[in-house]
Amino acid sequence: DIQMTQSPSSLSASVGDRVIITCRASQSISTSLNWYQQKAGKAPSLLIYGAYNLQIGVPSRFSGSGFGTDFTLTISALQPTDFATYFCQQTYNNVLAFGGGTTVEIK
Amino acid sequence: QVQLQESGPGLVEPSGTLSLTCNVSGGSITSGSYYWSWIRQPAGKGLEWIGRIFIGGSTNYNPSLKSRITISGDTSKDQFFLKMRSVTAADTAVYYCARGRGHDAEELDSWGQGTLVTVSS
């Protein structure tokens, strides 16, 4: 099975900060990598698909990059609504898997 | 816009069977190239993918749960189902159903609100 490792597991940041979250796959997954945002008490929602494609309706301050085993989610200028937990997910094979999550907290 | 809604008992006894239904509205589960998935999340923890079904009947399951779960669908009612046998307290979680795009990035683009299932006597 492909394992997904996110780092950091949590971070503290201020409004306006640039935030970078990384996700590493245990083997190459091409661009079969998606990112989700989950706010407290809510279901996750899709942010980025295929490593770098922005889901319709998601603000352009979110961006994704990477290929193979190493991926990043970048928030260019953190907004108050962005404090949440972020998960990566690989869809390379028929056993889909999520990363452990990164919680972005207010500094 | 498609909407998904989970339903089922909120309390299941240990060693019993957990049965959940996902109702899909605003679109048919047979339209387009999609798959239908279950995901769970224990309190304060991360997301765990349970499995998925393609309309056409093929399924994929998380190997760690495969021996205990069955995912099926009813196209006439636009519903799909999760059955999990021999549950323990470790199966206590919020269970989500979601729609996935059946090609390219296969992303989960629509989610239900989730339903809490507690395993306890």
Residues of chain B with pLDDT under 70: none
Q: What is the pLDDT of residue B103?
A: 82
Average pLDDT over residues A32-54: 97
Q: What is the pLDDT of residue B12?
A: 98
Q: Is A37 near chain B, with CB under 8 Å?
A: no
Q: What is the pLDDT of residue A81?
A: 96
Neighbours of A66 (CB within 10 A): 19
How far apart are alpha carbons B114 and B4 in whole angstroms? 9
pLDDT, tens digit, for every residue of A69-102? 999 999 999 999 999 999 999 999 989 999 999 9
A101: nearest CA partner in chain B: B46
Are A43 and B48 a contacting pair at CB < 8 A?
A: no
Are A50 and B105 a contacting pair at CB < 8 A?
A: yes
| Tokens of residue B42, six digits | 């224990």
Q: Is A55 near chain B, with CB under 8 Å?
A: yes
DSSP structure string for B92-117? -EEEEEEEEESSTT--EEEE---EEE
The owner of tokens 């404090």 is A83
Q: What is the pLDDT of residue A49?
A: 97
Q: State how far residue A105 is from chain B, nearest Cα, in angstroms.
A: 15
Q: Is A92 near chain B, with CB under 8 Å?
A: no
B106: nearest CA partner in chain A: A91
CB < 8 Å to B48, chain A = 98
Q: Is A58 exposed, middle or buried (0-12, 13-18, 19+ CB in 10 A)?
A: middle
